[in-house]
Structures are given as C-alpha cells and as structure tokens.
Structure 1
Amino acid sequence: MSQADPAFLAHCRELLGQAHVLTGAAAMAPFLADWRGRFTGSAQAVLRPATVEQVAALVRACARWRVALVPQGGNTGLVLGSVPDASGAAVVLSLARLNRIRAVDPVNRTITVDAGCILQHVQEAAALAGCLFPLSLAAEGSCTIGGNLSTNAGGTAVLRYGNTRELCLGLEVVTPQGELWSGLRGLRKDNTGYDLRDLYIGAEGTLGVITGAVLKLYPQPKARVTALAALASPAHALRLLGVMQDHCGASLTGFELMSRFCLDLVAAHFPQLPRPFAGAHAQYVLLELSSSESEAHAVALLETSVAAALDADVVEDAVVATSVAQSQGLWQLREHIPLAQAAAGKNIKHDVSLPISAIADFIAGTAASLERAFPGAQLVCFGHLGDGNLHYNVAPPAGAGERQFLAHQDAINRIVHDSVDSYGGSISAEHGIGALKRDELARYKSPLELQLMRAVKAALDPLGIMNPGKVL
C-alpha cells in the first residue's frame, strides 16, 4: 500500500471534518470491496463530501497533490469500476451524502437531483408529483443516479423509455481540475455545440465527477399488466416480440427472456415463489404493458395479443396476472435469477448486446461452442430481449469444482465475446467496462476508436487522476 500524504489528508479533514475522512480499515472496508465479492482494493482514505463545493475542493486537492480518485455511488457495479486498485495510492470519493432532490417540475416533466440520490428515492419523489421516472433495475434500492449515469444503466424498461442517457437532459460535473460545469438545463432541444452531457454519461468517472442531473419524467400509466409466456425456443421469443410490437406498439414496456434453467434455479433456491405452469418449457418471456387509458384497456390489449400468439403457435402456454400481487409474483421470478445464481455459487458473467435479429442464432451457436470446449457447462441465459441485451452467464457443470472451472474464465470469455463480435454485438450492454473488461475492450474496439477515446481522456484529464485503470 502506498504511503498516505499527511498534508493531503490534513487538508481533506479541514474541508470535510474529521468524521468524513475515513482512514481506518474497518471504516473503509465497505467502500473497497466490489459488489460481487471477488475483489477488494486499497485506498489512502474514503472522502465523504456533502456539497458540490466540497467535491470541487477535494478534486482541486487531488490535482494539487497528484492523488488519484475513484468516484463512487452505491458501489453496486459489476465490472470493478467503482472500487480502487490494490496499490493504495487512490482515494475513494463517496457521493452518498449528496442526496438531495433539488427540484421537481411536473409541467416541464423534469426532476433535478444530486448524484448521490438513490434511484428508488428518485422514483418515489416523481410519484409524489404524479409522474413516473421509469429507470428500474434490481439494485434500485441502493444504486445511485450518479452511478446510473456513469455506466449508462439500462434495466427493464429500456424497450419503452431508453437507457439512462435517454432519460437525462442536463448534468452538473466537477472537472478533473476542480472546476464546476453547470449544465442543468431541462431542455429537450439545445443545439449549441458539442454535447458535453453525452460525453460524461457512460464515462465511468474517468472524465469528471457527476454531481447533479436533470432527468426526464413521464405521465404515470393508468395501469400496468403482466403476463408470462412459455415458448419452445429463443426463435419463438423473437416471433412473439414481433407479434407484441405489432399489436401493442409503445404500450409494450417490458419483454424479458428467461431460459428453463434460470427458472429451475429460482425454484430450487426460492421455492416460495410462484410456479405458473404445471410442466416445463424451454424458454419463458415476461411481458409488461402500460396503458394511459385504463386497466380494462390494458388487459384487453394483452389478452388479444397473447391469444394471437397462441393461435399462430408462437406460444405454447401463457398466464396473465389478474392482480397486483400476481404481477409482482411474476416479476419476482425474473428479479430472483441473479440471487439464485449467487446462492448456487460463482459463475462467469457476460453482459452483452446484439442485433435483436441475431439473438437466437447467437444463443444456439455460442452454447454449442461452449459445450465443445467445456462439456456440461451450465448456461444461465436471460435478459432484456426487446432491446437486445442478454445476461449470458456460464456456470460450472453439475458437481464440478467451482475454483477449477473459474480458472478457465479467460478462455470462456474469449468464446463468448468472439461470438458476440462475430454477430456485430457489444461486450458490454449496461454494466460498463470498469477494470474487469478493460483488456477485452482493447481487443474488440478498433485502433481508431481507442485513439479517439484516449485523446478525449488526455484532453480532459491530463494528470490522469480520474478513476485510473478503468475503461482505458
């Protein structure tokens, strides 16, 4: 571990107070371990500012003393983007205390928030104003808006509302020099030069520290209805997507693919959850429709659409939730897949995106390649089929040694990512690059793309203090 500079830490204590400069091992521990429990970094200190001005002053101090800093929100990331490396040279800049809802404008349909606001709290503040903030993901009770923006998070409603990038109108950012750029404009149209907002979204804290955002709000739907469809294959799921889009248009807000193995895992580890079908099916799709008219309209539209899919032999069976409790039960099946995976043991995760038309061929071809190389490997394949995002996770064969299997991670990544690349896909759909996929990015990005990215990084962060070792 690098030796902490006493003068630097003393200055930080002057800025924040002793209580918010954490240096003890026990106090820092939650900020240094990644969410999956696979890596623990080291740091000089964890700094906990409460205002944007304190963030700017801390960044100026880091620039003065040449101290690297790692911005961190809820630390729920999956690619080692929000934790420091093992050198101990960096500080963690926790934005958890920047948690104010600054303003809600129901007429402009915007909400202005601190970057440290927990996603669920933003959803609740929007609801109190009679509006909807549609970003929704499994970690919404602990992830923060700053982290969502820094990774351009997706979630279950991308099909209808888009990624976090599409939900953001303006940003407030502290630059690597400690200057404050205030771009908190709630404008749908602003054609005045380079779009700096989009530069910082998805940059994973490598270009600056996001401290605030103006986010889009939408009308609250009058009703949401849910169904679970059973199908013979991913190809049938793609046909079902076409049927639903033709019948429902923008009312289709969720379309989640889950393999039989996924739901078998959930049943094994969470037997209290519903089992909607008496028999087993190869694939399942969780559908959700939102209606601006009425619940009766939404139910009728869903039932008509599902009936058309059944008549066309696209779907083998289907259940439509008839109550909020039944709808929540169906969503719990989807949301408990990552929890069931964790309970079953470690696996090799992939967050990929593909042209929607290529998904069925990708699933079949990649499964065959993995079976040839690693017979018996178990595939936990699920995701947001409507926007082309698959969580394609590879677990050890039944009864195999976990540690021995995980030693093949690089080889398994190569099979999966080469397959993704061959179909014109991306090795990261919504989790980001962080440190975990940095070397993979260099393999699949063109030299020119990498050169342009490095040029942007060097121009904005010439000292290289912003989240070093991440992305590039």
Structure 2
Amino acid sequence: MTLTAAQTVAALATIAGSDNVVGDPAKMGAWLYEPRKRFHQSAAAVVTPPTVEAVQAVLRWANENGTGIIAQGGNTGLVGAQVPLSGNEVILSLARLDRIRSIDTAAGVMTAEAGVILENAHKAAEAEGSMFPLWLASQGSARIGGVLSSNAGGVNVLAYGNARELTMGVEAVLADGRLYRGLNALKKDNTGYDLKDLLVGAEGTLGIITAASLKIYPLPEDYETALVNIASPEAALELFQLMRQRAGARLNAFELIPWIGLDIQMRHGMLDRDPTASASPWYALIELSRMAGTAPGALQSSLEAAFDAALISDATIAESLADRTRMWAFREQMSECQSREGASIKHDVSVPIAAVPALIGQGVTAAETLVPGIRPVPFGHMGDGNIHFNFSMPVGADPKAFMAEFDEAVHAVIYDVVLKLGGSVSAEHGIGQLKVDLLRQVKDPVALDMMRAIKTALDPKGILNPGKMLRSVP
C-alpha cells in the first residue's frame, strides 16, 4: 500500500530525527529546483541523515515500503537525475555527511564523505601540500557524492581523468540497507569485479555513495596559462597535438572557445576587461602545471613554436594570478553568458579528438540550415573531445516560440552528426531524466540488457532513483 506524505514524514522522523526531515513542500525549494529549471516536481519529503547508519535505516524502510529514494548532493546536476520525476519520491540529501575522514599524502589518497563540497575537498588536500584535481564551474556547491554519481569530468580530465579515474574505492548503501565497504587505497586489487566502477556514474540507481577514497597528487609549484588566437577548430587540433608533444603530462587543460562567447560576456559586463590579446574567430585556453624543480617557460617556448608553424596569430600569457583568474572566468562563464542572450539549445557531446573539427563544421551547417539566424556557441574540452555544442536563439526571436519549434529538431541533427562520427550523446553530464529516451535509441541493445540485469540484481524493487537512466526494470 502506498504511504501518504504524512505517513512518510512521520516514519522518516522516527528513523532520522524530526530535525532532519522536511515535509512542508513550501520549504523544499532548495532541493527541488535544479539549475536549468527544466524539471520541477514536489517530493513526499526530504531527509538529511546525519550518519551512514541513518542512511542505512532509511533505505531499509524504503525498500520494505516500496518508496522511491533520490540521492542528492549539491543539486548542481544538469540532466535532472537529482530531482523528483513523479512527485512521490523522498529526496535523501547527503549534505550532513561532510567529513574528510583521512588524508594520506604518502599514498596519495584522501577519504571524503559524500556531502563534502568539492571546493572544500580541494582546500583540505591543499592544506596538506596536495591537490585533488577535479575542477568544475560548480565546485563551490557540488558535493563529492553527486560528482562521483554523475562521473563528472571538468577541465583537468586531459591530465588526470574524470571522476571514475580519480576514485580508488567507495562506501555505499545498497537498496536493502546493507553497507558496501569498498574503501581502499590499493593501486592493484585483482579480486573480481570492480564494483566501484559500477557505482560511480550510476546516478544513484544502484546504491547511494556515502564516502570515497580519492586520488590526490603533489601540488604544482605554479601554472603557466595562456589565451591564444586561432583561426579555426582545425588549427586548434594541430595546436593541441603540438602542445601534447612538447608538454606531455604537464598539459593540464586545452579549452576551445569561440569569439561569440567573448562578445556576449563583454557586452553584458561579465568580465572587467578583455582577457585576450586581440580579436580572433576562436581562442584556446591552455594551461601547463609546473612542478617543484622544473624551470618556467615551457608554455612560452611551445607557443613560439606554434607561431613559427603558423598555428596561432596572437597570444597573451598570464603574468599574475589575477590574469589567470580572468582567463578561467572567461571559460567558466560560457554556459552562464548564454542565458543573457535568451533561450539556448544545449548539447553535452563527445567525439574522438580528431573528429572535433568535423563535429563543429557539420553541426553548425546542419543547425544553420534548419534555423536561419541561429547562433552557434560550441566550446569546451578540446583536449578530450567533449564539446558543449550550444546554440543561442536568433537575435530578436521569441524564446518560447524558438524552443517550442526548434529544440527537438536541433537535437536530432546534432546527435545525428555525433553518432556518425562515433561519438557519445552524453559526455559528462549523464542521463538523468533528460536523456532516458535518447539512451534507449542510441545504446547497444545488449548493453541495455546488461544494465537492466545489474539494476534488477541490486535494486529488485526499483526504489533507487526510479525512472532515471533506465525508465523501468523488467
């Protein structure tokens, strides 16, 4: 029998304490409104367990009563995985599990609970002379559990990998309340299936991550950062290859940004001054790390080689922390700036790195043919093939009419280009509720069968984030 909201709140108050339960929909806003405001349903309740044992108790109760549980971190996800779908689920916030349990710099491991804010994880590692290298625009509010559950990427994937590659082990509560104790710091552990890799990126559909052992690295002595002018994505690809040959593992980031992004930010006063050397159709934001004992100047010598090869026409190298901060603000504000120009259609896609120019060229042509006057704003992680292929509405268009008429059509033509190039329709944002139907269309049927089998085995009653990633369990 389905419990009423009042019964749910009363039961959760008994389990987790009344101070850790929110039952009034008017007070749930912070947990219900996701960043893009595409999905909005109420919830039966919000529970904020103070301990791992309380999380276990909530899951045991939910499993017995068939109540859907949505794990939530900082509520920064962009595909609706962390918010309700039907309105009768319980949101389980991990915010109160926010301790750094240990840091072992010799082993290169930090153990952090799921509610630790990503920026605080950075600070904790840096206090010990180390670095946790996963950097996101939302790092001031994103939490470790959500970052891992979505297998987040960010700007340092090129050098350090995404969230899955930075995770050595996890602790997680399963659907029936059992605790998987998978925290370890072993670089080699060949004792069966890598269960950690199942839970990372599962968007809370297989278990609720409560803590993780994370890789940390020696803190660089300094960074060398530059914004360079390039003529095209084809030139960017050649420049990336040159930088990788010359800098190797020191190349942390290689981000591609179009001129329109600078134009929008300057017109709307989002930058205190232009961080570029001069006007250019495209820019590349390049950053190298410099470890203790290594001489500076590697970036400048690489850029001189790029000038000689006619790959770049101008450049500005950061001479201060303020310069570096401004350059990164230019990149990190690319998503936000598009909201200043009205409605936009967004894609988080990836292709083989060598295919990035073809993706942009073919995608722009297809979208402009479909919607005359549409403004392409493709940007992102050139170094790992992940492009945020966005489109702002034509100047003067009606936002609602633009989205109603062209949203699905533009998605269709861009995804067609992506798939023909051997790419993925979700590079780093995940599936959530936004791309459930799309996943069924593009994923190999055998892979979907395997995913459903795993889901059924670990969550037979389908209580963990119901309707997300896989619409239903067989």
Instruction: Provide, for residues 165-202 of structure 1, a one-character-per-residue CA deviation record: whole Å limited to 9, x for no partner.
Output: 11110100100111001111111110000000000010
Moved more, 422-431 or 317-326: 317-326
Partner of 1:22: 22
Distance 1:232 1:40 in 2: 42
- Asked if the contact 2:28/2:46 (under 8 Å) is kept, the reply is yes
Q: Which has the larger displacement, 335-344 or 186-195? A: 335-344
Q: Using the TM superposition, give the Cα deviation of residue 342 of structure 1 relative to its aligned residue in structure 2, in angstroms.
A: 2.2
2:176 and 2:270 map into 1 onto residues whose CA distance is 53
Counterpart-to-counterpart distance in 2, 1:129 and 1:302 = 28
Over residues 226-256 of structure 1, what are the superposed CA-to-partner deviations in whole Å (9 max), with x where a residue is unaligned?
0000010000000000110111111110100
Using the TM superposition, give the Cα deviation of residue 89 of structure 1 relative to its aligned residue in structure 2, in angstroms: 1.5
CA distance in 1, matches of 2:277, 2:116: 43
Offset at 1:271?
A: 5.1
Deviations 1:13-70 (A, max 9, x none): 1122212110112211211111112221121100110110000000001011110011
Q: Which of 409, 413, 431 pairs up with 2:429? A: 431
| Alignment check: 8 A CA contact 1:223 1:294 kept | no
Q: Is the 8 A contact 1:362 1:423 kept in 2?
A: yes
8 Å contact kept, 1:270–1:340? no
How many residues are treated as equivalent by the alignment?
A: 468
Q: Aligned with 1:470: secondary structure?
A: coil
- 2:93 aligns with 94
Residue 288 (structure 1) aligned with residue 284 (structure 2): no
Alignment map for 1:173-252 (pairs within 5 Å): 173-252=172-251
Residue matched to 1:334? 331
Percent same amino acid among aligned pairs? 46
Q: Quote the residue 1:308 is aligned against.
A: 305
TM-score by length of 2: 0.97
Aligned to 2:75: 75
- The residue identity in structure 2 corresponding to 1:281 is S
C-alpha distance in 2, partners of 1:47/1:175? 17
Q: 1:393 aligns with which of 372, 385, 390?
A: 390
SS at match of 2:391: strand
Amino acid at match of 1:146: G
CA contact (8 A) 1:262 1:381 kept: no
Query: How far apart are the structure 2 equivalents of 1:230 and 1:279?
Result: 8
**Aligned partners of 1:170 and 1:184 also within 8 Å:** yes
Q: 1:278 to 1:177 in 2, by over 3 A?
A: closer
Q: Secondary structure at the match of 2:191?
A: coil
CA contact (8 A) 1:172 1:212 kept: yes
Alignment of 1:362-401 (within 5 A): 362-401=359-398
Structure 1 contact 3–89 (Cα < 8 Å) conserved: no
Read off the aligned partner of 2:312 and give its amino acid letter.
V
Letter in 1 for 2:426: S
Counterpart CA distance in 1 for 2:145 and 2:421 is: 32
CA–CA separation in structure 2 for the residues paired with 1:169 and 1:275: 41
Asked if structure 1 preserves the Cα contact closer than 8 Å seen for 2:132 and 2:217, the reply is yes
Partner letter of residue 144 of structure 1? Answer: R
Cα deviation for residue 332 of structure 1 reads 1.1
Which of 358, 374, 392 in structure 1 is aligned with 2:355?
Answer: 358
Is residue 258–residue 377 contact of structure 2 (8 Å, CA) maintained in 1? yes
Q: State the shift of 1:323 in Å.
A: 1.3
In the alignment, the residues of structure 1 paired with residue 186 and residue 25 of structure 2 have an alpha-carbon distance, to the nearest angstrom, of: 45
Name the residue aligned to 1:440.
438
CA contact (8 A) 2:79 2:431 kept: yes
C-alpha distance in 2, partners of 1:112/1:278? 42
1:338 CA drift (Å): 1.6
Any conservation in 2 of the 1:273–1:333 contact (CA below 8 Å)? no
List alignment gaps of at least 5 residues for structure 1: none
Q: Is the 8 A contact 2:70 2:90 kept in 1?
A: yes
Q: Which amino acid aligns with 2:445?
A: P
Distance 1:163 1:5 in 2: 38
Q: Any idea what SS the aligned residue of 1:188 has? A: coil
Letter aligned with residue 329 of structure 2: Q
What's the offset of the Cα at 1:6? Answer: 4.1
Farther off after superposition, 446-455 or 205-214: 446-455
Moved over 6 A (4+): none
Of 448-457 and 132-141, deviating more is 448-457
Deviations 1:285-334 (A, max 9, x none): 00000011357x23x11110000001110001111111111111111111
Superposed counterparts of 1:122-141, under 5 Å: 122-141=121-140
> Structure 2: which amino acid aligns with 1:415?
V
CA RMSD of aligned residues (A): 1.3
SS at match of 1:344: coil
C-alpha contact 1:273 1:332 (8 A) present in aligned 2: no
Instruction: State the TM-score, normalizing by the size of structure 1.
Output: 0.97
Tell me which residue corresponds to 1:454. 452
Structure 2 residue aligned with 1:151: 150
Change in Cα spacing, 1:322 to 1:294, as seen in structure 2 (3 Å) is farther
1:8 is displaced (CA, Å) by: 3.8
The Cα offsets for residues 384-408 of structure 1, whole Å up to 9 and x where unpaired, read as: 1001110011111111111011112
Aligned partners of 2:270 and 2:146: how far apart in 1?
Answer: 33
Deviation at 1:109, TM superposition (A): 1.2
